[in-house]
Amino acid sequence: MATETGSVKMFFFPFVGGGHQIPMIDTARVFTSHGATSTIIATPSHALNFQKLVTRDQNSGIPITIHTLPAEIPNITGPNIDTTVLLQPLRTFLLSHLPDCIVIDMFHPWASDVVDELQIPRIVFTGTGCFPRCVYGNIRKYIDIESMSSDYEPFVVPNLPHKVELTKSQLSIFARNPSKFPDRMKNVEDKSFGTIINSFYELEPEYADYTRKEIWKKVWIVGPVSLCNRSLEDKTQRGKSSTIDEQGCLKWLNSKEPSSVIYVSFGSMVRLPPKQLMEIAYGLEASGKSFVWVVREILKSEKNKEEEDERWLPEGFEERMKESNRGLIVRGWAPQLLILEHGAIGGFLTHCGWNSTLEAVCAGVPMVTWPLMAEQFSNEKLVTDVLMIGVQVGSREWSGFGEEWKEVVGREKVEIAVKKLMEESEEAAEMRVRVKKIAESGKRAVEEGGTSYQDVDALIRELKERKVNGQD
């Protein structure tokens, strides 16, 4: 269906939170910058997370809008939450507003039926890159994980361009028990018009090729989408409003030597238990390095749920860090892009969420990798074994959202990994050079003529041709 301006009309239906919602909003903004008209479909409370950003774009004449569905999803505890309550409102909206395509997050698998029934081209957004998809795809295809006896014996993922080793304990519960969890996501992709990936060709060329050849029929690699955030407001209003004063944070970072500070964050959803936070605090203090540490809501154990907050910092820690000007603790939400791009940041201790990984790469910052759940253990391998731009902290256990915490990584491991990344050595210097080079290629990918730029144009062109040929 053509809009008055003849531009392609795209709908975006992000998941209801964090690490999937944020890049989908960026993606919608990227497509408008290439001439498409974007509408983001959201619930009223989740729309609040990006309302300011969209209003600013609108005030600059950018054709982007939010459509709020008259329904709500209560608490986001992880990607497993059921969003089917949105089915009827979505159907009603689509019946009266047919777009040229709809981009749907893979965590709304139920939405495929509604969209396919209305014959709207459906594009899947996976939230991760090609590498994790190839790793998990090949494990599923070639290995009988269920009959593997050892949880901790490393195995090599077959038929990949690099030697990638994992253990059963690092795989998601779905990959460990495939017979119990049929791959519902696979069908979502199979019948779709194609898949959009937030990555860039130069980051993972062999895996981009492999994905296109072996896994999906149509793939548009359009990232790093976070690079569309250029202004200070873009960077501070992304996801949620920051809980620290940005100017204060920048002033603190300005007082530090270049590449001397490590940024520590576990993404938008992970909640760590007090005993783990305590080990991080000891480890950071012992490393002697300056840090910005984002601490979100703290995980209480089942038996301690009703009790007072357990102590999660060593005695006098905050006072010591304040006196020595060594550390900044952010309770809540940090302006991650702004911090990562500051010259004082020399490392990122990360849970290896796909977005955090890409954002670190784009900022030219090497990583201490500490994967915990989802596909994060495979992202770690990309960072440390393939790209060689990170140091592993040594976490070994995958844990699901809302589960009791399985593994506490000790303070010594934190100290050793932070020092290895942040202290001067040939190995650390080489990592820095490598990541800066990849950052440059990421920037080029989204510039005019770049690989991602071309993929965005290619999808828009394809949708236009489809419209002209009357296939809708």
Please, are residues 246 and 330 in contact by the beta-carbon 8 Å criterion?
A: no
Please, are residues 249 and 339 in contact by the beta-carbon 8 Å criterion?
A: yes
User: Pick from 121, 129, 267, 364: which binds ligand UDP (CB under 6 A)?
Assistant: 267
| Residue 80 or 179 with smaller CB distance to ligand UDP | 80
| Residue 355 or 378 with smaller CB distance to ligand UDP | 355
Helix/strand number for the chain, H first, E second: 19, 15
**C-beta of 237: minimal distance to ligand UDP in Å?**
10
Q: Which of residues 352-371 bind ligand UDP (CB under 6 A)?
A: 353-356, 359
* Closest residue to ligand UDP, based on beta-carbon distance: 19
46 vs 69: CA distance, rounded Å:
10
Instruction: Provide DSSP, 202-229.
Output: GGSHHHHHHIIIII-S-EEE---GGGG-
| Residue 267 or 346 with smaller CB distance to ligand UDP | 267
Does residue 27 belong to the site contacting ligand UDP (CB under 6 A)? Answer: no
| Residue 37 or 242 with smaller CB distance to ligand UDP | 242
The piece of 69-77, 171-179, 267-275, 439-447 that touches ligand UDP (CB under 6 A) is 267-275
Is 20 labeled as catalytic in the residue annotation?
yes
Q: Amino acid letter at 95?
A: L
User: Pick from 265, 369, 378, 392: which binds ligand UDP (CB under 6 A)?
Assistant: 265
φ and ψ of 130, to 5 deg: -75, -40
Find out whether the peptide bond into 224 is cis, omega within 30 degrees of 0. Answer: yes
Instruction: Provide DSSP, 381-440.
Output: HIIIIIS--EEE--------TTSPP-----HHHHHHHHHHHHS--HHHHHHHHHHHHHHH
| Residue 115 or 349 with smaller CB distance to ligand UDP | 349
The piece of 49-57, 133-141, 310-318, 329-337 that touches ligand UDP (CB under 6 A) is 329-337
Would you state the structure tokens that stand for residue 389, as one six-digit string?
């731009």
| Residue 292 or 463 with smaller CB distance to ligand UDP | 292
**C-beta of 399: minimal distance to ligand UDP in Å?**
13
User: Pick from 14, 18, 224, 283: which binds ligand UDP (CB under 6 A)?
Assistant: 18
Q: Which of residues 279-318 bind ligand UDP (CB under 6 A)?
A: 294
User: Pick from 36, 261, 334, 391: which binds ligand UDP (CB under 6 A)?
Assistant: 334
Please, are residues 8 and 123 in contact by the beta-carbon 8 Å criterion?
A: no
| Residue 294 or 431 with smaller CB distance to ligand UDP | 294
The piece of 185-193, 348-356, 393-401, 420-428 that touches ligand UDP (CB under 6 A) is 348-356
Nearest to 22 by CA among 354, 332, 287: 354
155 vs 295: CA distance, rounded Å:
34
Under 8 Å CB-to-CB from 32, ≥6 apart: which residues?
A: 38, 57, 62, 63, 64
With b meaning 16 or more CB within 10 Å and e meaning fewer, what string describes 237-269? bbbbebebebeebbebbeebeebebbbbbbbbb
Q: Which of residues 197-256 bind ligand UDP (CB under 6 A)?
A: 238-239
User: Pick from 112, 169, 195, 268: which binds ligand UDP (CB under 6 A)?
Assistant: 268
How many binding residues for ligand UDP (CB under 6 A)? 19
The piece of 44-52, 298-306, 312-320, 331-339 that touches ligand UDP (CB under 6 A) is 331-339
- For β-strands 290-295 and 64-68, DSSP reports them as unpaired
What spatial distance separates the first Cα and last Cα of the chain, rounded to whole Å?
A: 7
Catalytic residue among 26, 100, 105, 455: 105
Which positions are annotated as active-site residues? 20, 105
Residues forming the site for ligand UDP (CB under 6 A): 18-19, 22, 238-239, 265, 267-270, 294, 333-334, 336, 353-356, 359
